[in-house]
Structure 1
Amino acid sequence: MPLIDSHAHLDFYNETPTERVEVLRRAYAAGVHTVLAIGIGDGPATMHQALEIAETASGEGLPQVFASAGIHPQEAAHAGPDALEKLAALAARERCVAIGEIGLDYYHFDNPDIATQQEAFIAQMRLAAKLRKPILIHCRTSELATPQAKEKYGEADAWEDLLALIDEHWTPHALPGIMHCFSGTPAEAERSLAAGFYLSFAGNLTYPKAQGIRDAAVLAPADRILVETDAPFLAPIPLRGQRNEPAFVTQTAAALAELRGITPEELADLTTANFKNLFPSTR
């Protein structure tokens, strides 16, 4: 069965008029026949771009493209009423299957303060619950951040804050979601799974220092795992340092299959079935 890239920023492929189509053709040729295009843009003003790609990208030799829409925590200061109204309108469209990526990011000094990020996150969870759409979570803690960012965010832990907000504002709705580019600990994986989330593994699964991610990838139930690129970021080994693209999800999938002691074909069957269970409209 073909693979699905559950998280790619297709709107970033615009360096030439044909770059995006070329990327999508390479994905299809590599056996990646569905891509979830992430609709955060450079902020709310451009978060519609992924959905436009999903609604227009079709043809022989091209993957199916679905989209999300959301306001990234880095853009939380722009999550005002107008932006949320735009998000609601985008999310109601058929090809938009999820809200995201949303969440918390205490990694960059330039990011909004904690209260602003949390307010935007809560507002988008409420919107997603109203529309009965899954959410795609971005979580990056300050543990490895610059000294300036550590000083700004202090002792706050993005994972602890995120899981607490999910428990209060999302779990009561009994709706699922994805921990995108899961980069937490096995304990955070367990808590995410208990909250009803799928764990999506990206190219950093293959990096030498990512043993905690690999441990989480082994413990996750077979029916709750996905693979992604986060393209154009995080190219997997042996392609690390290159500009990532959906075709490269095959490398991450092979690494995940090896970790779990199954064949790449079995991993493809598994993650494709999981994606379609999470997003029935993509069947």
Structure 2
Amino acid sequence: MLVDSHCHLNFEQLSSELDAVVARAADAGVGHMLTIGTKLREFDAVRAIAEAYPNIHCSVGVHPHEAESEADEVTTAKLISLTQHPKVVALGETGLDYYYEHAPRDLQKKSFRIHIATARETGLPLIVHTRNADRDTIDILREEYEKGPFTGVIHCFSSGWEVAEKSMEIGFYISISGIVTFKAAGDLRDHVAKIPVEKLLVETDSPYLAPVPKRGKSNEPSFVTHTAAKVAEIKGIDPDQLAAITTDNFFNLFNKIER
């Protein structure tokens, strides 16, 4: 079995044919999916999808792009209240995005720290988005970890090696998306070769970043098989072994889910 550890099933490209998307995932051997919260104002729709399927769970959080638009809504108390639902198994995605900078950096950092504080208090893992923000991401994770431990994952990893290294030092996992199949992603493949397989997850980040050979199409959970095959090739192991290990890693991290 494979797990898609990060997808956006509430986005229109997928929600418009959700039953078919879930069926295709099952046919491809994808046994579980984690659909991700990015806006509190849309969280009810995310949670409803998780409620509708036994093999789908969800996270709650505010993407760094939304750190300004939802600044008044993001509080530890609010997030804690939403995590009480049995289908909510993680916080995020949260983090820093200095590539697009749709929100001021100070508000992104504030939101990131609020999510971390909530992860520390609830014991739920944190799903971290980081783009063009390696130094600040590392510094915030280190500073906050010194206040008390928390777990999590760097999702859709495409950063410099130091982000992976410092994140793993505090117990984080590293999730690999379809980017690893792209022709220009040689550096990422080199990083994946160095990451212990016991620290790896695979994801689609669908409907974005469709892997080779599905480039140009809307991504979906069934396509995680192509990402997993590339990661297995890089690690020099059988795809079934990679699937088993990454599935175990998923359930070890998101341990609110009953297998």
How many positions carry a matched residue from both structures? 257
Structure 1 runs of 4+ aligned residues shifted over 6 Å read none
Deviation at 1:226, TM superposition (A): 0.4
Residue equivalent to 1:74: 65
2:47 is the counterpart of 1:48: no
Greater relative contact order (CA < 8 Å, ≥ 6 in sequence): 2
- Aligned equivalents of 2:237 and 2:256: distance in 1? 28
Deviation at 1:35, TM superposition (A): 0.2
Deviation at 1:81, TM superposition (A): 4.6
Residue equivalent to 1:140: 131
Deviation at 1:280, TM superposition (A): 2.1
Distance 1:183 1:21, change over 3 A: same
Aligned residues: percent identity?
Answer: 39
Residue type matched to 1:224 in 2?
A: K
Residue type matched to 2:203 in 1?
A: E
Structure 2: which 5+ runs fail to align? none
Residue type matched to 1:117 in 2?
A: Q
Residue type matched to 2:91 in 1?
A: I
Deviation at 1:256, TM superposition (A): 0.3
Deviation at 1:208, TM superposition (A): 1.2
| Superposed CA RMSD | 1.6
- Aligned equivalents of 1:257 and 1:248: distance in 2? 15
- Aligned equivalents of 1:215 and 1:174: distance in 2? 29
Residue type matched to 1:102 in 2?
A: T
**TM-score using structure 2 length:** 0.94
**TM-score using structure 1 length:** 0.86
Contact 1:69–1:101, Cα closer than 8 Å, also in 2: yes
Contact 1:100–1:136, Cα closer than 8 Å, also in 2: yes
The residue matched to 2:94 in structure 1 has which SS?
Answer: strand
Residue equivalent to 2:28: 30
The residue matched to 1:11 in structure 2 has which SS?
Answer: coil
The residue matched to 1:178 in structure 2 has which SS?
Answer: strand
Deviation at 1:173, TM superposition (A): 2.5
- Structure with greater Cα Rg: 1
Distance 1:180 1:87, change over 3 A: same
Q: For each residue in 1:173-201, what CA deviation from the matched residue of structure 2 results, as whole angstroms up to 9, or x when unmatched?
A: 22210100000122322122112210000
Write out aligned runs for 1:11-160 (5 A).
11-13=10-12, 19-40=17-38, 43-58=39-54, 64-84=55-75, 85-109=77-101, 111-141=102-132, 158-160=133-135
The residue matched to 2:37 in structure 1 has which SS?
Answer: coil
- Aligned equivalents of 2:136 and 2:209: distance in 1? 25
The residue matched to 1:243 in structure 2 has which SS?
Answer: coil
Residue type matched to 1:138 in 2?
A: H
Distance 1:15 1:269, change over 3 A: closer
- Aligned equivalents of 1:243 and 1:171: distance in 2? 41
Distance 1:96 1:118, change over 3 A: same
Contact 1:48–1:90, Cα closer than 8 Å, also in 2: no
Distance 1:209 1:130, change over 3 A: same
